[in-house]
Every structure is written in C-alpha cells, then in structure tokens.
Amino acid sequence: MARSLWKGAISFGLVHIPVDLYSAVKQNELDLTMLDKRDFSPIGFKRYNKGNNKEVAWDNIIKGYEYTSGEYVVLSDEDLKQANVKATQTIDILAFVNAEDVPLTYYETPYYLAPGRGGAKVYALLRETLRRAGRIGIATVVIRTKQHLCALVASEDGIIMNTLRYADEIRDAEGLDLPAKGLKAAGITDKELKMALSLVEGMSEEWDPSQYHDTYKEDVLALVEKKVKAGQTKSITMPSKETEAKPSSNVIDLVALLKQSLGNKPGKGRKAAADEDDEPAEDTEDEDEAPAPKAKKAAPRASASRAAPARGSAASRAAPKSGAAKAAAAKPAAPKKTAAKSASATRKKAA
C-alpha cells in the first residue's frame, strides 16, 4: 500500500471527513546523470556551510526565513504547524462550482483522497453529492509550506483532489499574436471548416489512455543500446549543422492539405474525402449559359414521356426491355424533331 503524504479532514459545513492524501501521478522521465566530460565521472553536489565552506550533514540542517539581508528567523516544523493549526490539518471547502467554469490552465497536480478511520460513510456521502449535483468543491489546503487552492472532484469510486493555481499565477495571453475570433475575421471559408470537421470526425474514437506512451523515451533507449553494442559509450556526438529551411509562400491551400490528410486516415476519414471528391463543383458560368426558354418547352415532352411508360408499365414489368430494345424505342423520337424543325422552317418562309 502506498504511503500517505498527508492526513487530515475535509471540512464540509459542520461535517468533518477524515481523509488520507496520496499522490495520483508518478514521473517516468528519462534519468540522465551529469558527467565530467574529461573523464566521464558522475557529478555530485554537497551541502556546505557558506561561512566556512565545510560540508554539513542533514542532521544539522534547519530552516529559516531571511527577514533582512543576512539575518534569519528560525522556523521549525512545529512553528510552521502552529502558525495556523486548522489550515495545516483541514481541506476547507469554500464553494461549489460547475467544473466547466474552471479553465484548464488553473489545474495543477492531482491527488487521491481516501477515507480515514471511521470516515467511509460521510466520504461516500460527499462523493455521491458531488456527482448528483454535477459540481466540484473549491477548497484550500496547506501542503508543506504553501496553502493551495484545490478542486474536489468525484471520480468513479472516490474523490480526486486537484491542486489549482491562483489567478495571479496565470499569465495573461495579451501580447500573443493570435488570429482574430470568428471564421470571417480569420479568413476561414465554409469549405475549409467542413473539411476540418470531417478530419476530426474521421479521427474520433473512444478515449483509451493505455494506447499512448512516451515513444521518444523508447527511441533514446534504443539509441543507447545501439551505442553500447557499437562500443561508442564514450564518444561525444557533436551538433550537426542545421540547414535553414527555404522560406515558403504564405499562400496555403488548406482544402488540399485537409483532403490529403483525410485520404491518409482509414475508415471514416477516407470515406469523407471520397464524398468530398464526389460533390459536384460549383460552375456559375454553365448555369448562366443554360437557356431558360428551352427548358420550359421541354417540360411538356418530359411529362408525356413519363406518361407513356405509365401506360405500358404492365408490359414493362412482364418483360423488361433489353439494351437493344431500349435503343430501338428511342429512335422514333429523332424524326419527330426533324419534322418539327421542317414545319418551323415552312412557317418562316410563308411569313
């Protein structure tokens, strides 16, 4: 069982819930040791007395606050606790808010809260209350020498305490060169947005954190193994000359890039790209050239042609026409057109 980092209680109105605090995360960073490049010996650090330059053992180290240059007030662990006993032992809930109202930039470090001795029922009551209300609790807690703002969030089985940053710890985004708000102001077309949404849809899936891991760490470890096998454990690879990329045009065909991205994605993404290609291109010139009067005159003929098959529908169902029969049926229409043109020419001559 993991060792608790802190023991105290959640203050919920007049209710006190004994809890133990546990770390919810661990660091899996690549562990690199600093070496002296002259003989590859590891570098060490010593705690020394700045007055006499002699090394100091942990047992002789205490803490103090420098209230003026070179002068300190000694503060023991008991002093830090006595400064505010309640704050150091209590997660004091101040308010309940909607989770979506707290920006992601405020969230810092998650911790597990487990019920202490005799606190299981009231712990479960708070958890189910948070879940049913759809809110998170905003509280304060002192960990070591700092008072943290924190959020109490109901998880599937327990309560997560996530430390939050204070408002004065969040940097303002003012001064960043960000694009204007809105599609029109940012120069985004409806087609570009549609293609981007298709790409998102094609890449959408259920959240499965187990499929993600630090592939860069694996690449570095593979390089280490390669250098060990090659006997290059003490060879220093010097920086290579970086070639500057040629400046490209600012004009980017976003639609083409998005369509290419869709084509490279399996499933929905590839289908969306195919559907986009099948859409008829907009051609305003062809629409302008199409003569409206001819379309109107053709309407009665279309009605007649639709009526004719209706009368012969029973025969059609009994014996479907072959390709040759359809062609033969279509041929009589040609003389009618010729006769119509001849009649028109005769009327013109008579006039």
Query: CATH code at 132?
Result: 2.40.290.10
pLDDT at 252: 64
Q: How confident is the model over 13-28, as pLDDT tens digits?
A: 888 999 999 999 998 8
% of residues, the chain, pLDDT over 70: 70
Q: Give yes or no for a contact between 14 and 90, defined as CB atoms under 8 angstroms apart.
A: no
DSSP 29-84: ------B-TTT-PBP----B-TTT--B--GGG---EEEEETTEEEE--HHHHHHT-
- In eight-state DSSP terms, residue 3 is P
**Highest-pLDDT range among 185-194, 286-295, 341-350:** 185-194
Which amino acid type is present at position 132? R
What tokens appear for 9 in the block? Answer: 């209680």
Which amino acid type is present at position 252? I
Which amino acid type is present at position 23? S
Which amino acid type is present at position 275? D
Q: How confident is the model over 73-95, as pLDDT tens digits?
A: 999 988 988 888 777 889 999 99
Residues 17 and 114 in one domain: yes
The mean pLDDT value of the chain amounts to 78
Q: Which of 218, 243, 277 is the last residue before a domain boundary?
A: 277
- Look at 197-201, 216-220, 240-244 and tell me which has the smallest mean pLDDT: 240-244
Cα–Cα nearest to 97, from 149, 165, 151: 151
pLDDT at 8: 93
- Look at 18-27, 200-209, 252-261, 291-300 and tell me which has the smallest mean pLDDT: 291-300
- Look at 35-39, 220-224, 266-270, 283-287 and tell me which has the smallest mean pLDDT: 283-287
Cα–Cα nearest to 22, from 209, 210, 159: 159
Residues 145 and 263 in one domain: no
What average pLDDT does range 220-231 have in this prediction? 91
Q: What domain range is 15 assigned to?
A: 1-26+74-168
Residues 21 and 162 in one domain: yes
- The CA-based angle 247-250-252, given to 5 degrees, is 115
pLDDT at 258: 72
Tokens 């009589």 sit on residue:
332
Q: Is 32 contained in some domain?
A: no
Kindly report the pTM of this predicted structure.
Answer: 0.65
Q: Is 12 contained in some domain?
A: yes
Q: Which of 277, 311, 345 is the last residue before a domain boundary?
A: 277
What lies within 8 Å, CB to CB, of 46 at 6+ separation is: 55
Cα–Cα nearest to 88, from 140, 160, 162: 140
pLDDT at 277: 55
What tokens appear for 83 in the block? Answer: 């400064």
CA 259 to chain CA centroid, nearest Å: 21
Q: Is 220 contained in some domain?
A: no
Q: Is 48 contained in some domain?
A: no
What tokens appear for 192 in the block? Answer: 């570009």
Q: Quickly state the pLDDT bin for 192 (edges 50, 70, 90).
A: confident
Residues 271 and 149 in one domain: no
Report the number of distinct structural domains present in the chain: 2
What average pLDDT does range 49-74 have in this prediction? 94
pLDDT at 237: 86
Q: Give yes or no for a contact between 22 and 16, defined as CB atoms under 8 angstroms apart.
A: no
Q: How confident is the model over 264-319, as pLDDT tens digits?
A: 665 554 555 555 555 554 443 443 444 444 444 444 444 434 434 444 444 344 44
Residues 2 and 106 in one domain: yes
Q: Is 66 contained in some domain?
A: no
pLDDT at 244: 60
Residues 6 and 133 in one domain: yes
